[in-house]
A and B are shown apart, each in its own frame.
Chain A
Amino acid sequence: MVNFTVDELRRIMDRKHNIRNMSVIAHVDHGKSTLTDSLVAAAGIIAQEVAGDVRMTDTRQDEAERGITIKSTGISLYYEMTEGDLKNFKGEREGNEFLINLIDSPGHVDFSSEVTAALRITDGALVVVDCVEGVCVQTETVLRQALGERVKPVLAVNKMDRCFLELNLDAEEAYLTFQRVVESANVIMATYEDALLGDVQVYPEKGTVAFSAGLHGWGFTITNFAKVYASKFGVDEAKMMSRLWGENFFDSATKKWTKKHTGTSTCKRGFVMFCYEPIKQIIQLCMNDQKDKLWPKLQQLGLKLKSEEKELTGKALMKRVMQSWLPANRALLEMMIFHLPSPASAQKYRVDNLYEGPLDDPYAHAIRNCDPDGPLMLYVSKMIPASDRGRFYAFGRVFSGKVSTGLKVRIMGPNYVPGKQKDLYVKSVQRTVIWMGKKQETVEDVPCGNTVAMVGLDHFITKNATLTNEKEVDAHPIRAMKFSVSPVVSVAVTSKVTSDLPKLIEGLKRLAKSDPMVVCTMSETGEHIISAAGELHLEICLKDLKDDFMNGAEISISDPIVSFRETVFERSCRTVMSKSPNKHNRLYVEARPMEDGLAEAIDDEKIGPGVDPRNRSKILSEEFGWDKDLARKIWCFGPEGKGPNMVIDTCKGVQYLNEIKDSVVAGFETASKSGPMAEENMRGVCFEICDVVLHADAIHRGGGQIIPTARRVFCAAMLTAKPRLLEPVYLVEIQAPEQALGDIYSVVNQKRGHVFEEIQRPGTPLYNIKAYLPVIESFRFNESLRAQTGGQAFPQLVFDHWDMVPSDPLEPGTPAAARVAEIRRKKGLKEQMMPLSEFEDRL
Chain B
Amino acid sequence: MILLRVWLTEKPYRIFREGIGRARRRFRATTNEERTAFHLWSMDFESNYDIAASAQFIHTHNFTRVALQFPDHLLKDSTRVVTALRKRLQSLKKCDATGSGHETDVGLFVMADTAYGSCCVDEVGASHINADCVIHYGHTCFSPTTTLPAFFVFGKASICVADCVESMSKYALANSKPIMVLFGLEYAHSMQQIKEALLESSMSCRFDAKPEVHFANVPSSVMFPSKDIKKINGLQEQASGASGTTCSIGGLTWKLPEGQSMDDYLLFWIGLDDSAFANVVLTFNACEIVRYDANEKQMVTDLFQQRRILKRRYYLVERAKDANIVGILVGTLGVAGYLHIINQMMELITGAGKKAYTLVMGRPNPAKLANFPECDVFLYVSCAQTALLDSKEYLAPVITPFEAMIAFNRGSQWTGAYVMEFRDLINLPEMEVIDQEEARFSFLKGGYVEDFENQENVEEEREVLSLVNATEKALQLRNNSNALMKGNARSGAEFLANRSYQGLNMPSENNSPEPYLIGRRGRASGYEDEKNKQ
Q: Which residues of A contact B (CB under 8 A)?
A: 413-415, 419, 421-426, 459-463, 473, 498-499, 501-502, 505, 508-509, 512, 519-528, 581-582, 609-610, 634-637, 640-642, 658-659, 661-663, 665-666, 669-670, 674, 698, 702-705, 707-708, 828
Contacts and interface: CB of A to CB of B under 8 A. Distances in A.
B449 A423 contact: yes
A648 B415 CA distance: 46
30 contacts: A421-B462, A423-B449, A424-B452, A459-B437, A459-B448, A460-B450, A473-B461, A498-B285, A498-B415, A499-B416, A512-B446, A520-B446, A521-B444, A521-B446, A522-B318, A524-B312, A525-B312, A526-B312, A527-B311, A528-B443, A581-B367, A609-B481, A636-B482, A641-B482, A663-B484, A674-B392, A703-B371, A705-B370, A708-B366, A708-B370
Contacts of B415: 498-499, 501-502
6 closest residue pairs by CB, A with B: A526-B311, A641-B482, A462-B447, A459-B438, A704-B371, A526-B315
Contact of A502 (B413, B445, B483): B413
Contact of A419 (B369, B392, B445, B472): B472
B443 A463 contact: no
Contacts of A414: 447
Contacts of A661: 500-501
Interface string B404-437: 0000000001111000000000000000000011
Nearest to B452: A421
Contacts of A662: 373, 483-484, 499-501
A412 B500 CA distance: 29
Interface in B250-290: 285-286
B231 interface: no
B360 interface: no
Contacts of B449: 415, 423
A704 B503 CA distance: 16
Contact of A519 (B413, B438, B446): B446
B87 interface: no
Interface string B53-66: 00000000000000
A708 B441 CA distance: 31
A665 B371 contact: no
Contact of B439 (A460, A634, A641, A707): A460
B367 A704 contact: yes
B314 A704 contact: no
Given A426-B458, A461-B448, A522 B395 contact: no
Contact of A522 (B416, B443, B450): B443
A523 B444 CA distance: 8
Nearest to A523: B315
Nearest to B312: A526
B486 to A, nearest CB: 8
Contact of A501 (B369, B371, B416): B416
Contact of B443 (A520, A634, A640, A828): A520
Contacts of B311: 525-527
Interface string B448-488: 11101001011001100000010010000001011111000
A189 B326 CA distance: 54
Interface in B304-356: 308, 310-315, 318
B44 interface: no
Interface string B373-417: 100000000000000000011010000000000000000011110
A508 B444 CA distance: 12
B500 A525 contact: no
B39 interface: no
A708 B447 CA distance: 30
A525 B315 contact: yes
A414 B311 CA distance: 29
B297 interface: no
A501 B414 contact: yes
A43 B6 CA distance: 101
A505 B413 contact: yes
Nearest to A699: B371
A663 B308 CA distance: 31
A609 B479 contact: yes
Given A501-B413, A522-B318, A669-B485, A707 B452 contact: no
A430 B411 CA distance: 23
Contacts of A501: 413-416
Contacts of A473: 461
B14 interface: no
B368 interface: yes
B450 to A, nearest CB: 6
A665 B485 CA distance: 9
A674 B395 CA distance: 12
A634 B482 CA distance: 12
Contacts of B462: 421
Contacts of A665: 481-484
B371 A659 contact: no
A310 B318 CA distance: 69
A525 B446 contact: no
Contacts of B469: 419
A349 to B, nearest CB: 31
A414 B442 CA distance: 14
Nearest to A662: B484
B409 to A, nearest CB: 14
A707 B396 CA distance: 12
A521 B450 contact: no
A659 B503 CA distance: 8
Nearest to A510: B441
Contacts of B367: 581-582, 704-705, 708
A581 B365 CA distance: 11
Contact of B308 (A424, A525, A582, A674): A525
Contacts of A610: 479
Contact of A422 (B315, B452, B484): B452
Contacts of B308: 525, 828
B481 A707 contact: no
Contacts of A658: 500-501
Contacts of B286: 498
Given A426-B455, A501-B414, A526-B311, A641 B369 contact: no
A499 B482 CA distance: 40
A665 B318 CA distance: 24
Nearest to B498: A662
Nearest to B305: A828
Contacts of B313: 526
Contacts of A609: 479, 481-482
Contacts of B413: 501-502, 505
A658 B447 CA distance: 36
Contact of A703 (B312, B370, B452, B479): B370
A183 to B, nearest CB: 42
A461 B368 CA distance: 39
A666 B484 contact: yes
Given A425-B439, A519-B446, A524 B315 contact: yes
Contact of B457 (A426, A505, A636, A669): A426
A473 B447 CA distance: 23
A114 B467 CA distance: 43
Contact of A666 (B373, B414, B436, B439): B373
Contacts of B439: 425, 459-460
B395 A670 contact: yes
A413 B369 CA distance: 33
A639 to B, nearest CB: 10
A501 B313 CA distance: 14
Contact of B501 (A463, A522, A659): A659
B458 A421 contact: yes
Nearest to A829: B392
Contact of A704 (B368, B452, B461): B368
A520 B438 CA distance: 18
Contact of B455 (A425, A509, A524): A425
Nearest to A670: B395
- Find the residue from B311, B372, B457, B484 having the highest chain A CB count within 10 A: B484
Given A663-B484, A666-B395, A669-B484, A522 B444 contact: yes
